[in-house]
């Protein structure tokens, strides 16, 4: 019987990216195996979850409205808004019922497996709501069973989570591979909680935080486990078989908006090229999977160049995508990277105005270098994704026009555009007055823990988020986000396609724009059958490569 039950419930799969295997849980299972502890992974990021959380009778009813809204036909009129709100209420009620049933199913798993502990990955929005429901149900039925929680929400919000639920024995801040081994010892009574670094636990009624340990050496990570006996969702076509693989963690930069240093520390740590390619080879040999996405938030150019050389020297037939870092990119090696299988690279630009970048992002970035780097990557045949935050703090009508002109000149292959987000621990959160941001931390915590995205509606109809940027309300700045995105599309620039979706589209036999349009429709109306067919097609291509 497994000693650990590892659970990820992220809510409804809002994008195809939600269907990728969870490398974090696979890493934890590998670490536990190294310590002699068996585990079982329950991952709800699947096609079946998409089907389950969207009632079939709503899918056909929503299709005409969704096709109109997503085709750029303008926002919903009053009559359509009222209809969408009624359908959304039905959808919410259905999902609440399903989440309660999922909690009962997991409790049954606990009864059958009798694990020493449960580990849960906490996501935001519906994932947080559902995960706390699951944890509280387990706690009610198994009062003495340790339930540990990690993941993005635990790193961002920490002890604030105890203001919402007391179900968790502790919350893990940051990397879990070392901590999970210690938690396994705690679960069997061999060590005390307060001796475990990187956790927050309740000391009486107050959260107490134990400082993190030094970051892990990535070469020493245990091999992740994707075997279907341990990770049942890997069987069949429930997930897109693209493996996220650890190339680097941590970030020494302090971009105003970025949560990566909060999650994995400010010291950049990389795996050696030989070890990284060894791990790719191991996945190929064990599972036949040849598609990868590097996990790092700012993979250094030298590492990417070394990995490309290693892949080519071994003659591996792989395709992969990666984040890139504009300050360390190696354009002189882009052709070699493309030959090694690099399909797409993601660069964070955020603004086309150097002064805004310096003030709002604390980035000293030469836009001439950005233009040259993107151009050279595209010449090598690499699909370039360049993200933007619109509006940034300090943006004006003039600087936004400057950003738009810059993108029209540079013409990346895809430009994901998002409104400015506010995450605990970032400079924007810690020093809001320095960035023209206004908010009340207690109010933001209350809303932020389980803030839900509403795919049926444009952002202007989402719940108001209680922070201002440049004096603007949520409604006002998200309107600028939508207008900027529309202007890019009217200029023939593709938006809303991240690097991993480029790779999925390739294997599914689609162009990125076609894939974006279809998958967005499928997710909005809950068309699990169409999504499932796409996943099966992509997996066949991946496994036959």
Q: Cis peptide before 478, with omega less than 30 degrees from 0?
A: no
Q: How far apart are CA 253 and CA 365, in angstroms?
A: 12
Q: How confident is the model at residue 509 (pLDDT cuts 50, 70, 90)?
A: very high
Q: How far apart are CA 289 and CA 108, in angstroms?
A: 32
pTM for the whole structure: 0.95
Decide if pLDDT at 71 tops 70. Answer: no
4-209: CATH superfamily: Response regulator (3.40.50.2300)
CATH number for the domain whose boundaries are 240-544: 3.20.20.70
Q: Which of 10-24, 91-105, 441-455, 519-533 is predicted with the least confidence, judged by mean pLDDT?
A: 441-455
Question: For 112-135, what is each residue's pLDDT tens digit?
Answer: 999 999 999 999 999 999 999 999
pLDDT of residue 2: 86
Decide if pLDDT at 79 tops 80. Answer: no
Q: How far apart are CA 23 and CA 540, in angstroms?
A: 21
Q: Provide mean pLDDT across the span 27-55.
A: 97
Q: Give percent of the chain above pLDDT 90.
A: 83
Helices 56-70 and 78-113 pack at an angle, to 10 degrees, of 130
β-strands 206-209, 269-270 pairing: unpaired
How many of the other CB atoms lie within 10 Å of CB of 29?
29
Beta-bridge partner residues of 119: 6, 148
Q: How far apart are CA 364 and CA 356, in angstroms?
A: 10
Decide if pLDDT at 409 tops 90. Answer: yes
Q: How confident is the model at residue 75 (pLDDT cuts 50, 70, 90)?
A: low
Decide if pLDDT at 76 tops 80. Answer: no
The token duo for 485 is 């995105």
Specify the DSSP class assigned to residue 359: I
Q: How far apart are CA 421 and CA 260, in angstroms?
A: 13
Decide if pLDDT at 70 tops 90. Answer: no
pLDDT of residue 460: 73
Q: Provide mean pLDDT across the span 160-178.
A: 95
| Mean pLDDT rounded to a whole number for the chain | 93
Q: Give percent of the chain above pLDDT 70.
A: 98
CA distance to 356, 403, 409, 490, per residue, from 400 (Å) = 10, 5, 14, 16
Q: Which of 84-88, 105-109, 147-151, 384-388 is predicted with the least confidence, judged by mean pLDDT?
A: 84-88
Q: How far apart are CA 511 and CA 383, in angstroms?
A: 12
Q: How far apart are CA 510 and CA 523, in angstroms?
A: 17
Return the domain boundaries, the chain.
4-209, 240-544
Q: Provide mean pLDDT across the span 340-347.
A: 98
């Amino acid at each position: 019987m497994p000693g650990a039950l590892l659970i990820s419930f992220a809510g409804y799969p809002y994008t195809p990216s939600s269907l990728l295997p969870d490398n974090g849980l696979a890493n934890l299972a590998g670490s536990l195996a190294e310590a002699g502890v068996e585990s079982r992974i329950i991952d709800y990021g699947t096609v079946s979850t998409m089907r389950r959380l969207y009632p079939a009778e709503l899918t056909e009813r929503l299709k005409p409205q969704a096709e109109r809204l997503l085709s750029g036909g303008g926002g919903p009129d009053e009559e359509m808004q009222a209809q969408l709100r009624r359908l959304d209420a039905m959808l919410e009620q259905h999902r609440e019922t399903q989440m309660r049933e999922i909690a009962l199913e997991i409790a049954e798993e606990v009864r059958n497996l009798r694990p020493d502990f449960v580990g849960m990955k906490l996501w935001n929005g519906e994932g947080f709501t559902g995960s706390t429901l699951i944890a509280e149900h387990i706690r009610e039925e198994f009062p003495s069973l340790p339930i540990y929680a990690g993941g993005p929400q635990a790193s961002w919000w920490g002890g604030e989570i105890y203001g919402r639920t007391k179900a968790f024995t502790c919350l893990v801040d940051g990397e879990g591979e070392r901590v999970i081994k210690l938690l396994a010892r705690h679960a069997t009574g061999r060590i005390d909680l307060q001796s475990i670094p990187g956790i927050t636990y309740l000391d009486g009624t107050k959260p107490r935080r134990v400082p993190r340990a030094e970051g892990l050496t990535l070469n020493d990570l245990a091999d992740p486990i994707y075997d279907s006996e341990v990770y049942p969702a890997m069987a069949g076509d429930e997930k897109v078989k693209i493996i996220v693989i650890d190339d680097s963690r941590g970030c020494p930069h302090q971009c105003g908006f970025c949560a990566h240093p909060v999650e994995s520390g400010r010291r950049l740590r990389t795996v050696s090229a030989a070890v990284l390619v060894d791990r790719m080879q191991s996945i190929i040999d064990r599972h036949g999977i040849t598609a990868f996405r590097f996990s790092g938030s700012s993979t250094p150019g030298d590492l990417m160049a070394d990995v490309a050389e290693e892949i080519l020297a071994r003659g591996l037939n792989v395709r992969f995508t990666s984040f890139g870092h504009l300050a360390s990119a190696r354009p002189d090696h882009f052709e070699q990277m493309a030959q090694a299988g690099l399909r797409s690279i993601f660069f964070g630009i955020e603004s086309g105005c150097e002064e805004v970048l310096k003030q709002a992002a604390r980035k000293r970035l030469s836009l001439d270098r950005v233009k040259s780097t993107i151009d050279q990557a595209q010449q090598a045949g690499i699909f370039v994704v360049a993200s933007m935050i619109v509006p940034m703090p300090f943006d004006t009508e003039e600087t936004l026009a400057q950003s738009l002109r810059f993108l029209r000149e540079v013409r990346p292959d895809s430009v994901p555009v998002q409104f400015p987000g506010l995450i605990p621990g970032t400079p924007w959160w810690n020093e809001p007055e320095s960035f023209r941001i206004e908010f009340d931390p207690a109010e933001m915590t209350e809303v932020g823990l389980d803030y839900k995205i509403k795919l049926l509606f444009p952002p202007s109809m989402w719940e108001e988020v209680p922070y201002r940027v440049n004096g603007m309300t949520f409604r006002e700045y998200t309107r600028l986000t939508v207008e900027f995105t529309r202007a890019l599309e009217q200029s023939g620039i593709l938006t809303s396609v991240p690097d991993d979706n480029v790779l999925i589209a390739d294997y599914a036999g689609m162009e990125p724009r076609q894939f974006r349009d279809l998958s967005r429709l499928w997710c909005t109306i809950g068309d699990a059958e169409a999504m499932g067919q796409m996943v099966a097609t992509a997996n066949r291509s991946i496994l036959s490569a």
